[in-house]
Amino acid sequence: MKKLSWLTLVLVFMLVLSACGGNSSKNNEGNANSGASSSGSQNSQSKGGGSEKVKITILNSKAEIHNQMTEAAQLFMSANPDIEVEVISTTQDQSPVERASALYASGTPATLTMLDTGDIEKFADKALDLSNEKWVADLAQPFLVDGKTISFPFAVEGYGLIYNKEVLDKVSGGSFDPASINTTAKLEALFQKIEQAGIVPLYIGSMDWSLGNHFLAIAYATQPDTDVKGFIEVLKQGKADLVNNPSFNGLLDTFDVMKRYNGGKDDPMAVNYEQSTAMVAKGEAAMTFNGNWLITELLKSNPEGEYGFVPVPISNNEGDHANSSVAVDATKQFFLDAEKSTPAQQEAAKKFLNWLVYEAEGQDFQVNKANVIPAFKNINLELNNSLAIAINQYNLSGKSIEFAGNFVPGDHWKVLGASMQKYLADKADRATLAAEIEDYWKSMQ
C-alpha cells in the first residue's frame, strides 16, 4: 500500500514535470524525426544509387494558400527529384514573426521563411544575401535592406481609389480613363459630375487600418526629397513639421474633398468595410478607398462587376509622380536562412525561387493557383480579376509609390487610425491631427 502511494506520487510528479517541460520533449522528437528522415534518405540512396536528397522547409505565412503551396512543392519535387520540400504554414491568426522566432529559438528554422514585408528587416542578420540572383534583374520594384536584396517578394498588393467601371463609363459618357484624374481639382470635378448623375460619389470606409496604415501612409510615401524610411526617421526626431509639409497638406486637401462628397458624411463612423464595398459593387456609389484585396468582397455583391484604380492625388500639379501612381508593394517576402542551413540547402532553396519566377509551373502557381500578383516583369500570364490587372499595370509601368504601411510600427494603424477617424468625423482639425501624428512618432524612439 505504502509502495503504491509512493509510486502514484512519483508518477504524478513525472506527469506534471513532463507537461511543464514540453519543449525539451518536443526537441527530442524533432531529433528523432530528423534521424528518421536522414536514415530514410540513406535508404533512397542505396535504392536509387543517385546523389543524396537535399531537404528544405518552407514556412508559409499565407495560411489560405497552404494547399496550393503544397501542390507547388510537389510539382517542384517531381521536376527536381534530388530535392525534398516540406511546407509548413502558420495558422490564420498566428503572427508569422512569432512562428519564425519560435523556430529560430528551437534551432530548427525553415530554409525559406515567408514574412510580412515590414518584418524582414528584423531578420536581416539571419538572411542570406540574394543580390546576385538572376531574378533580381526582373523585379518590378527593388526591395533593399542596407543596399542588398535579402528577400524574394511574393504577392504584390496595392491600394487607391477603387471605382466601378460601369458607373464611371456611364457618367463620363464613354470609356473612363483613370489617368485623366491627376489633380485634386480634377478629382473634385469628377465627384461633382457623379453627384449630378444622381449617384453617390464615394464612401469612405471608416476602418482605422485603412485610414491609418493606407491613407495617411501616402503622406510618408510621397515626400519629394526622401523615401519612407528616411521620412520616418525625420518624424521620430520630431523634425517633420507636418503642418507645413506640402505632401501631408495636399493629401489632406484631397481627403477634405472626399469628406465633402462622402455618402456617409452624416454618420461617417458608421460606414464599414462591408457597406462601402457593397455600395460600390451594386453601383449605388462610384468609388471607395481601398486595396485590390477588396475584389473578393466586391464579387460577392456583384460577380459581374469590373473595377479599377484612380490614384489619390496629393496636389494640383499634374506632373507629380504621386498623382498618377498608386501605392504598390509585395506584402509578403521570403528570406533564405543563412544561419543553420547547409550550402546544399541554400542552393536548393535558390532553385525553388528561380522555379517560381522562370518555370511555367511556378508562374502558373503564383498567378492561377495562389491568385497573387507576381512581383516580376517577366511573368506575362493574364491575371484573373480586374483589380489585380490594374495594380499589375501600375506596378509594371513604374507608376507606383511605396506601400508605406509596410514600414510602420505594429500599433500605427490603431493609434493614428483613431486620429484619422477623428479628422474624418470632424472631431479634430488638421493641426490636432498633425500634432497627434508627431507625438506618436516621437514616442517611438
Partner 1 sequence: MLTERKLSKRLYNQLLFTGPTLLAFTCVILVPFVYGIYMTFFKWDGISSSMPFIGLDNYQAVLQDKKFWASVWLTIKYVAASVLIINVLGFALAYLVTSGIRGQNFFRASFFSPNLIGGLVLGFIWQFIFHIFLPSVGESTGWSIFEKTWLGDETKAFWALVIVTVWQYAGYMMVIFIAGLMSVPKDVLEAARIDGASGFRQIRHMILPLMVPSFIVTVFLSLQRSFMVYDVNYALTGGGPFGSTVMASMHVYDKAFQRFDYGVGQAEAFVLFFIVATITITQVYMTKKLEVEA
Q: Does 9 bind partner 1 (CB under 8 A)?
A: yes
Among 20, 49, 225, 343, interactor with partner 1 by CB under 8 A? 20
Q: Is 92 in the site for partner 1 (CB under 8 A)?
A: no
- Least Cβ distance, residue 422 to partner 1 (angstroms): 4
338 sits in which H/E element:
none
Query: Maximum CA pair distance of the chain?
Result: 95
Q: Which uninterrupted H or E stretch holds 372?
A: none
What does residue 148 show for φ and ψ, rounded to 5 degrees?
A: -120, 150
Choose, by CB under 8 A, the member of 54, 73, 97, 232 that binds partner 1.
Answer: 97
Sole binder of partner 1 in the list 1, 4, 5, 147 (CB under 8 A): 5
CB of 226 to partner 1, least distance (A): 24
Q: Does 445 bind partner 1 (CB under 8 A)?
A: no
DSSP for 91-157, please give it. -TTS-HHHHHHHHHHTT---SEEEEEGGGGGGGGGGBPP-TTSGGGGGBSS---BTTB--EEEEEEE
CB of 411 to partner 1, least distance (A): 4
Which DSSP category does 238 fall into?
T
- For partner 1 (CB under 8 A), the number of binding residues is 34
Alpha-carbon distance of 377 to 359, in angstroms, equals 14
Q: Does 1 bind partner 1 (CB under 8 A)?
A: no
Per DSSP, the three-state class of 62 is: coil
Nearer to partner 1, 7 or 32 (CB): 7
State the binding string over 405-434 for partner 1 (x if CB under 8 A, else -).
----xxx--xx--xx-xx--x-x-------
- Of 33-41, 136-144, 265-273, 309-317, the window that binds partner 1 (rule: CB under 8 A) is 265-273
| Strand duo 285-291 + 83-89: pairing | unpaired
How far apart are CB 341 and partner 1 at their closest, in Å?
18
Closer to partner 1 by Cβ: residue 10 or 136: 10
Give strand pairing partners of 113: 59, 335
Residue 109 identity: P
Taking the least distance from each CB to partner 1, the nearer of 5 and 244 is 5
Beta bridge partners of 373: 156
Q: How big is the CA angle at 89 (ends 86 and 94), to the nearest 5 degrees?
A: 155
Give me the residues that bind partner 1 (CB under 8 A), please: 5, 8-9, 12-13, 16-17, 19-20, 95, 97-98, 101, 122-123, 206, 208, 266-270, 272, 409-411, 414-415, 418-419, 421-422, 425, 427
